[in-house]
Amino acid sequence: MVVGIIIVAIFLVMAVLMMLKKIPAVLALPLMAVLIGVAAGLPMTGEEGILTHVLSKGALKLSGTYVAILFSCWLSQILYRTGVTDTIIKKAAELGGDKPFIISLALCGVSVFLFTVLYGTGAAAMVGAVVLPIMLSVGVPPIVASNAFLASLSAGYSLNPANIAAITSITGVAPEDINLCAVILAVAGILFTVVYLAWGFKKNGIKFAFAAPVEHAAESDADTRPAQVTGFRGLLACLTPVVVVAIMLLLKLEAITVFIIGIVWAIVFTYRGKWSKFSNIIVQSCYEGFKEGAPTAALMFGIGMIINAMTTPTTQAVINPFMIAITPTTALGLIAFVCILCPLGLYRGPFNILGLGAGLAASMLAVDVLPVAALSAVFYAAFRWPTQSCPTSTQVVWASNFVGYDPITVTNKVQLPNWILTAITVVILTIIYF
């Protein structure tokens, strides 16, 4: 019990240090894995060694996940550099005509569509740099525009094969068991976006004003963005997200395979001009995409280390009494546990599966009193919230700065609604999966 309390204290200290920006998550996670190993009494080397099992093998534990993320970022760059992303966004804006609310809904709908395959801050910036200026220019208030864009991004992320690969790698749940959860969370995110936009328009009206930096960014960016795709081949290229998600849901292939198919599909239907020039675009997209995916891949190293540190037999033996005491055993207990504590997913806390939550999930699974699918589903539900409105998430920081506000000011407007939505989805998913 004492060791369990010490490990929880390590979790809390690291969470506070990250919240205070004293240490970045990419350093905090490996450090926490080492401290957990020391607290649990793991040897330095050997089968359960801190240097061998926790650090070395831990860095490779989620290799399939971070390779899938790198490939998704590569696909993001291809769709951007060939003009597919711009084409989809601008066609949606045209369909909205001169009705600001319809235009905003269309742009958010397109963002959901795109982020089922796009991934990373670079992708958020590429899409947001087109979506946000259009929303602002038709009179959507800056904070409403930023939050609506982030809500649509998180809805798309729920269906993104890279995120599904992350949850399956961390908890061991079968991909086919989490697909329904992903669809439910995507629908919940879409409803949140629609309701939030409607509320924003009703409360704030239309304000034809936006921050100067946004205007300048939009003007300077307009000259450098690629030409739009056209014709039947262009239409097929624009359907790349549909192809990727359909293959994932219907054929149940691994995320890496799904993204490779998406990359090939995009290349076939966007190829134009000389192959030597086009192949250079593909290569540059790979380099830039991998650079964009590097921060998330680096987090995966630390997450794998934490999982290995928490799941060794020695660690489990010493923390098992504490975990048995705190882990709920009933559906009602699980709902109460997650609904009350899910705000701890912010700031990479213990309910963020791509942060400290990896360790908590692994420890709760090791107690073996909850269905794997149910626990995975509620953790995935809790993950949607920080994806949309954690002040330290890079896409949140980018979108907030783009509209001229700091992340805390922007996210404070939607934290309570996000808590409510997370609680609702947790109840629904627990009923389905428990």
Please give the average per-residue pLDDT across 294-308, as a whole number.
Answer: 87
Residue 264: CA count within 13 A, CB half-sphere: 6
Q: How far apart are CA 45 and CA 53, in angstroms?
A: 8
Report pLDDT digits (tens) over 338-376: 999 999 888 777 888 877 788 888 888 888 888 999 999
Please give the average per-residue pLDDT across 220-240, as a whole number.
Answer: 77
Q: How far apart are CA 237 and CA 228, in angstroms?
A: 11
Q: How far apart are CA 406 and CA 403, in angstroms?
A: 9
Please name the residues in contact with 45: beta carbons below 8 A apart, sequence gap of 6 or more: 51, 52
Task: Kindly write down the DSSP assignment for every residue of 159-224, as one continuous string.
Answer: T-HHHHHHHHHHH---HHHHHHHHHHHHHHHHHHHHHHHHHHHHHH-------HHHHHHHHHHHTT
Task: Kindly write down the DSSP assignment for every residue of 306-359, as one continuous string.
Answer: HHHHHHSHHHHHHHHHHHHHHS--SHHHHHHHHHHHGGGGGGG-TT-TTTTHHH
Q: How far apart are CA 141 and CA 196, in angstroms?
A: 12
pLDDT level of residue 284 (50, 70, 90 thresholds): very high
pLDDT reported for residue 197: 93
Instruction: Report helix, strand and coil shares of the chain as percent, to nearest 5.
Output: 80, 0, 20
Q: Write down the mean pLDDT value for the chain.
A: 87
Lowest mean per-residue pLDDT among 126-140, 198-212, 337-351, 382-396 = 198-212
Q: How far apart are CA 26 and CA 431, in angstroms?
A: 35
Is the confidence at residue 215, as pLDDT, over 50?
A: no
pTM of structure: 0.83
Signed CA dihedral, 161, 167, 172, 177: sign only: negative
At 73, the amino acid letter reads C
Is the confidence at residue 6, as pLDDT, over 90?
A: no
pLDDT level of residue 209 (50, 70, 90 thresholds): very low
Is the confidence at residue 11, as pLDDT, over 70?
A: yes
Q: How far apart are CA 265 and CA 237, in angstroms?
A: 7
pLDDT reported for residue 24: 84
pLDDT level of residue 227 (50, 70, 90 thresholds): confident
CA distances for 38 relative to 3, 31, 32, 54, 128, angstroms: 10, 11, 10, 11, 44
Q: How far apart are CA 390 and CA 369, in angstroms?
A: 30
Nearest to 378 by CA among 434, 304, 420: 434
Report pLDDT digits (tens) over 123-158: 888 899 889 988 888 888 999 999 999 999 999 999
pLDDT reported for residue 307: 87
Percent of the chain scoring above 90 in pLDDT? 44
